[in-house]
Amino acid sequence: MRSEQRPVTGLSVVVLGGTGFLGRRIGAACVADGARVHLVSRTSAAVPSPAGGPGVSAIGLDLVTASPREIADVLAEAGADVVVNAAGRAWQADEAQMAAGNAELVERVVTALAALPGPPVRLVQLGTVHEYGAGAPDAATGEEHEPAPVTPYGRTKLQGTRAVLRARREQGVNGVVLRLANVIGAGVPEGSLFGRVAAHLGAAARADARGEKAAELRLPPLRAARDLVDAQDVVAAVLAAATAPEADVAGQVINVGRGTAVPMRALVDRMIALSGLELPVAEAAEAPGSRTDVAWQCLDVSRARHLLGWRPLRSLDDSLRELLTSVLPPEHPRPGTPLGITADAPAEEGKRP
């Protein structure tokens, strides 16, 4: 059944990875909703403004090395009602480092939660579309699809998901997994395609302001199509999952995406067009057998609508404008919709382009 969305007002929310791209947004939204928020990061001094302030505490803890007991002590001290695990490794890490941040950490978090006295604490674990691997071949991928990840990131995140589901079955941990599409928005890490292109456009705009020629944008082969979701929509899904009835969501995997497959070359072209810059792009040729990920991703998000009352509200152009505004110099014209560029999905929902 569809769960009525409830505010987190008055709840104690612990955000693991609270200074990261999503963690700081989740913390800020919970504060705005009236929660007491505890942002956990390697160093408490790393909590940025405006995430810091009234209703927010910063907790320094190296989650990669912390024991279940140390994690449990932090959660008990915070009087946690909700734990959001936004920690993990995706960029500039090898498989062992990803396993430590994406799988082993989750094992220790669920062990800590199982040991806490009192009512079960809600755990919202952030998973990824990359857990599916290729997904459904000709339609949107639903949660019942058997995961077959093909990258170290997908494999280690799937281990984390399975740890949450196993802890629910065996120890009664009140956990739910949100399996996120590729997240886009201001502050997205430069290790991602979106962050890399945005950073280059920012540098190109500054060069243009100095009367200099912008450097060529060199990219890997852009043959893939990806489901993208705005960071603000992800935050809304997290808040809905944090307060949904246990009977509805505990032990569930719930897809969170836009339900459309966006060709990556079209995305890059749109970013450049919205920036208003003239920028040469050099896309590398794809050698036979060189692909290490999947060519097409699209999520079925009907379960999120049914269980959380959630749906994506932000268009792709909304996301791109916010991202570009964050990297372009203040004197650069505000990103708009150029003539001939249409907002939103270039691919039909749930079907291959």
Residues that are catalytic: 153
- Hey, how many other C-beta atoms are within 10 angstroms of the C-beta on 143? 18
In the block, residue with structure tokens 């509200």: 313
CA distance 233 to 257: 9
Q: 277: number of CA atoms within 13 Å, CB side?
A: 32
Q: Which residues pair with 229 in a beta bridge?
A: 183
- Hey, how many other C-beta atoms are within 10 angstroms of the C-beta on 209? 12
- Hey, how many other C-beta atoms are within 10 angstroms of the C-beta on 197? 25
Per-residue three-class SS string for the chain: CCCCCCCCCCCEEEEECCCCCCHHHHHHHHHHCCCEEEEEECCHHHCCCCCCCCCEEEEECCCCCCCHHHHHHHHHHHCCCEEEECCCCCCCCCHHHHHHHHHHHHHHHHHHHHHCCCCCCEEEEEEEHHHCCCCCCCCCECCCCCCCCCCHHHHHHHHHHHHHHHHHHHHCCCEEEEEECEEECCCCCCCCHHHHHHHHHHHHHHHHHCCCCCCCEEECCCCCEECEEEHHHHHHHHHHHHHCCHHHHCCCEEEECCCCCEEHHHHHHHHHHHHCCCCCEEECCCCCCCCCCCCECCECCHHHHHHHCCCCCCCHHHHHHHHHHHHCCCCCCCCCCCCCCCCCCCCCCCCCC
